[in-house]
């Protein structure tokens, strides 16, 4: 019943006019972009929140950004703000919505200029900082500022830097695939009457899968927390790190990773609306955990898995891998490396010692992306020999 109601809500928001994206509202080039339908846009955002609460595997972080942009645009109209200033207010309000909901003011501030593309100027910096600060403080009245993911502090060590390089190289192709797949799903999203049966079918598949893998439900937070809990739990189960327990944890995490990625893309393709920020974070942490755990099993001397030795160290390494995997994956899936670093620092409550490992992981991943794009361009521009008609 809930699936059918969500499908009808999505169909209603598309029956007559198209929804206006946040970036379109910032541009404000047409009357529709400057004055989107208030009821339709609000219902669209609220539907996302309800859908994620009901278990849809997409992110809900787009909704507060959309509501912030929508209300800022209406207030700008009421106050007759000049058109030169209006885009700054709309963009700042969108970033403030993200910062307020997750209590990450620095992440929201960086997101404003990198992801939303607001130009750097003293006026824009001042306006964005004020809006984000006020929104974060106001939301703090009901939302605690404790880290979303309480994990140990990441330290800058040779091991963490080396692991950052390895994960940057290994995770980059997976993150690039997820970004391409989710963008393709968004561009081909079902918006006609077929959504009435396609979306309930996908959500039913999510429900069946959750019987065996309950952490796939929601925006990705249960999956991410499971990864960090699994890493810490491996050290507390006994006096030594059990390779069998680690193998079982890796298989379960791998199943979560595959199911979550497939269901996110399938949901977006078949009519669901939502973000990929928190799902990307979850997928990245799972990637880091699985890859590092596999390395530990293949090369046990990396963490000295002998009885009574290196137990805490191995557990810490898996926790570090979850953090580095999250920031690496998110930097590419969002196409915003600075925003990814700032958001993960806020989500996980990390201090300055995490800066260097994060920078190495993200820099390595973006180096892989650059080489990938260069090779792709060379392949596309490789001249092909044409056989003359007389020789065919």
Residue by residue, DSSP assigns 7-18 as HHHHHHTTSSSP
State the CB neighbour count (10 A cutoff) for residue 174: 20
Residue with token string 């044409």: 386
Residue 307: the pLDDT is 40
Break the chain into its structural domains and give their ranges.
2-139, 158-379
Residue 209: the pLDDT is 97
pLDDT in tens, the chain (392 residues): 445 445 445 544 555 567 889 999 999 888 888 889 899 899 989 989 988 988 899 999 999 999 999 999 999 989 989 988 999 999 999 999 999 999 999 999 999 999 999 999 999 999 999 999 999 999 999 999 889 888 888 989 888 999 999 999 999 999 999 999 999 999 999 888 888 899 999 999 999 999 999 999 999 999 999 999 998 887 554 445 678 888 999 999 999 999 999 999 999 999 899 999 999 999 999 999 999 999 988 887 766 544 444 444 677 889 999 999 999 999 999 999 999 999 999 999 999 999 999 999 999 999 999 998 888 776 666 555 544 544 44
3-state secondary structure of 336: coil
Residue 304: the pLDDT is 54
Burial status of residue 8 (CB atoms within 10 A of its CB: 0-12, 13-18, 19 or more): middle
CATH class of 158-379: mainly alpha
Closest by CA position to 230, among listed 220, 217, 245: 245
On whether the CB atoms of residues 261 and 287 are closer than 8 A, the answer is no
> What's this model's pTM, rounded to 2 decimal places?
0.90
Residue 17: the pLDDT is 61
Q: Which residues contact 50 (CB under 8 A, 6 or more apart)?
A: 6
Residue 307: phi and psi, rounded to 5, are: -55, 130
DSSP 8-state code for residue 237? S
On whether the CB atoms of residues 36 and 16 are closer than 8 A, the answer is no
Residue 388: the pLDDT is 52
How large is the greatest C-alpha to C-alpha distance in the chain, in angstroms?
80
Residue 380: the pLDDT is 62
Residue 309: the pLDDT is 40
């Amino acid at each position: 019943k809930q699936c059918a109601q969500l499908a009808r809500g999505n169909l209603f928001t598309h029956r007559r006019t198209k929804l206006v994206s946040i970036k379109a509202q910032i541009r404000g080039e047409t009357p529709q972009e400057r004055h989107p339908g208030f009821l339709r846009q609000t219902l669209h955002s609220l539907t996302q929140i309800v859908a994620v609460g009901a278990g849809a595997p997409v992110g809900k972080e787009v909704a507060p950004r959309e509501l912030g942009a929508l209300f800022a645009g209406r207030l700008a109209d009421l106050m007759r703000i000049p058109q030169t200033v209006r885009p700054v207010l709309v963009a700042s309000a969108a970033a403030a919505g993200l910062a307020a909901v997750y209590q990450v003011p620095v992440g929201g501030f960086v997101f404003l200029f990198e992801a939303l593309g607001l130009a750097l100027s003293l006026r824009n910096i001042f306006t964005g900082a004020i809006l984000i600060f006020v929104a974060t403080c106001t939301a703090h009245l009901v939302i605690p500022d404790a880290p979303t993911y309480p994990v140990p502090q990441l330290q800058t060590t040779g091991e963490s830097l080396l692991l950052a390089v390895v994960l940057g190289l290994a995770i980059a192709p997976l993150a690039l695939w997820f970004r391409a797949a989710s963008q393709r799903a968004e561009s081909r999203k079902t918006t006609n009457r077929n959504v009435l049966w396609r979306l309930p079918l996908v959500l039913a598949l999510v429900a069946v899968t959750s019987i065996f893998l309950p952490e796939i439900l929601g925006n990705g937070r249960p999956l991410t927390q499971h990864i960090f809990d699994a890493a810490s739990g491996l050290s507390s189960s006994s006096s030594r790190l059990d390779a069998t327990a680690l193998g079982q944890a890796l298989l379960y995490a791998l199943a979560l990773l595959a199911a979550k990625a497939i269901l996110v893309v399938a949901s977006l393709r078949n009519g669901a609306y939502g973000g990929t920020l928190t799902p990307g974070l979850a997928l990245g942490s799972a990637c880091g955990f699985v890859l590092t755990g596999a390395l530990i099993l293949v090369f046990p001397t990396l963490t000295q898995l002998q009885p009574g030795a290196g137990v805490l160290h191995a557990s810490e390494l898996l926790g570090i891998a979850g953090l580095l995997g999250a920031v690496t994956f998110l930097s590419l899936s969002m196409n915003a490396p600075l925003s990814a670093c700032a958001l993960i620092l806020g989500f996980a409550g990390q201090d300055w010692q995490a800066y260097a490992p994060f920078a190495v992981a993200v820099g390595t991943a973006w180096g892989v992306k650059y080489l990938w794009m260069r090779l792709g361009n060379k392949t596309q521009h490789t001249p092909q020999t044409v056989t003359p008609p007389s020789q065919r």
